[in-house]
A and B are shown apart, each in its own frame.
Chain A
Amino acid sequence: DTEVTQTPKHLVMGMTNKKSLKCEQHMGHRAMYWYKQKAKKPPELMFVYSYEKLSINESVPSRFSPECPNSSLLNLHLHALQPEDSALYLCASSQDWEQGQPQHFGDGTRLSIL
């Protein structure tokens, strides 16, 4: 069982919908990440939160909006997505952002945009 929990597992939405992806970890990790992964490609970093503050935004379009309500939770708010945004969205956490500790991934949300 993964120690990083993501919901929902699958999401189908239209281009005008608004939805949110959720991620939770209870390992006491202080860094959390959102990745996007397309088929047969490695994960691509989207956002990094360290101690609940946004540390990195990899020039992600504003239709993706991250939020870190507390040290255990990470959300990704979605609005007006495009078909090319269909992908597996992975959340990860690590002990600390700067120390380079390994990341632990959730099992992802498979997103389909109609």
Chain B
Amino acid sequence: RKEVEQDPGPFNVPEGATVAFNCTYSNSASQSFFWYRQDCRKEPKLLMSVYSSGNEDGRFTAQLNRASQYISLLIRDSKLSDSATYLCVVNFNKFYFGSGTKLNVKP
């Protein structure tokens, strides 16, 4: 079983839509959680850390559910520029990457 699992997508959504991604992790002792976005042929960029209480940054909301061992990312009012691959990263002694979820926002 992989340490971190994500639906690879792609998620094809129209502009203005709300889209949500989930990510599950296997190690209940995992300590830190992050969402990164990666554009084609670019480096991963930190989108946001994920905290137990949930956190929001503009149109982006991240949630952590330790009991069920998953984290989520909600994007509201999708923009064309949100098109990218979203990587879930979990830390337990080292960083474990999900395989990424591809998002295509269409006009």
Contacts and interface: CB of A to CB of B under 8 A. Distances in A.
Contacts of B31: 100
Contacts of B21: none
> Which secondary structure dominates chain A's binding surface?
loop
Contact of A42 (B34, B46, B87): B87
- Interface size band for B: 10 to 19
A49 to B, nearest CB: 13
Chain A CB within 10 A, most for which of B31, B43, B46, B49:
B43
Given A100-B91, A102-B49, A42 B43 contact: no
Contacts, number: 38
B46 A104 contact: yes
Interface residues of A, number: 20
A102 B43 contact: no
Given A102-B34, A105-B43, A42 B100 contact: yes
A101 interface: yes
Interface string B85-107: 00101010011011110000000
B32 interface: yes
